Amino acid sequence: MTSTSATAGRARTRTRTGGPDDGPKILEHVLGWTLVVVLAMFVTQAGLM
């Protein structure tokens, strides 16, 4: 195996970051926007904005 083919073979593999592989993306978006809304409510109620 040459060095270029070894490098090309490694380039195709994905680096594992510890996050979820796949799942319901809509749930992730809903939870993210819920966090944004709750944070915005907290900021306005605290009088910070």
> DSSP assignment of 5-43, as one string?
HHHHHHHTSPPP-SS-SS--HHHHHHHHHHHHHHHHHHH
- Residue 6: pLDDT band (50, 70, 90) is low
Q: Output 39 or 4, whichever has higher pLDDT.
A: 39
* Amino acid making up residue 16: R
Model-level pTM? 0.50
At 8-20, the pLDDT tens digits run 555 567 677 776 6
